[in-house]
Amino acid sequence: MSQKREILPGFIVLEGIDGSGTTTQLKRLETRFKKLHIRSCFSFEPSNGPVGELIREALSGRFNALPSTIARLFAADRAEHLYGSKGIVDQLKAGKIAVSDRYLFSSLAYQGLTCGEELPAMLNASFPLPELLLFFKLDPDTAISRMQSRKGLEIYENLDFQKRVANAYDRVVSSFDDSGMKIVCLDASNNPEFVEEAVWQAVSAILPA
């Protein structure tokens, strides 16, 4: 399905299954931007605002929320992240590059599985697209083994579910092929230095000269 939406120039999103290394690479990119004095802002979803906190309660299992409630919370958190004060849109208007660890593609993949595709598609239909989507591809077995050292796994962090998420992500990302958004797929099984270079290659290609 081809989806025509507004594209936000200077907005970059990292996506991938749990354990695919998006958070590590977001930090590495932030360090590189700082060194190069590139004006930027780095953020993540679920956010660290009040709605994001509620989502983390649900993901930990402490708040036993309906799957549809979780989908709605993610969409509400995203609206704050994007349009709230000092949100992505404000940062882009101020001329910064905005980079987010996860965005609506996570909702289409994860909540598409937990509550059916229709609700997350509807809740996320009006959000604009980033200029660049970096899609971290990793085999779920490898991803889960990377996560074994983490304490207190969240409700989605098990092999069976992550295998389904990996398939859902492939479908979701390819549904945006004709959207005008630049999509770069990265092999996240490589070592972090190698992935960092691949991220940089893709990111530097869209930076203003």
Residues of this chain that interact with ligand TYD (CB under 6 A) are 18, 23, 45-46, 59, 74, 101-102, 106-107, 110-111, 154, 156
CA gap 49, 166 in Å, rounded? 27
The nearest distance, CB 187 to ligand TYD, in angstroms, is 19
The nearest distance, CB 15 to ligand TYD, in angstroms, is 9
Peptide bond into 46 cis (omega under 30): yes
Q: For residues 108 and 1, is the Cβ–Cβ distance under 8 A?
A: no
Q: Measured from the CB atom, is 91 or 111 closer to ligand TYD?
A: 111
In degrees rounded to 5, what are phi and psi of residue 158? -140, 155
Buried residues in 6-42 as b, exposed as e (16+ CB within 10 A)? eebebbbbbbbbbbbbbebbbebbeebbeeeebebbb
Q: Measured from the CB atom, is 33 or 161 closer to ligand TYD?
A: 161
The nearest distance, CB 46 to ligand TYD, in angstroms, is 6
Q: 139 burial class (0-12, 13-18, 19+ CB within 10 angstroms)? A: middle
Q: Measured from the CB atom, is 45 or 131 closer to ligand TYD?
A: 45
The nearest distance, CB 195 to ligand TYD, in angstroms, is 16
Q: For residues 8 and 41, is the Cβ–Cβ distance under 8 A?
A: no
Q: Measured from the CB atom, is 95 or 118 closer to ligand TYD?
A: 118
The nearest distance, CB 21 to ligand TYD, in angstroms, is 11
Q: Measured from the CB atom, is 33 or 105 closer to ligand TYD?
A: 105
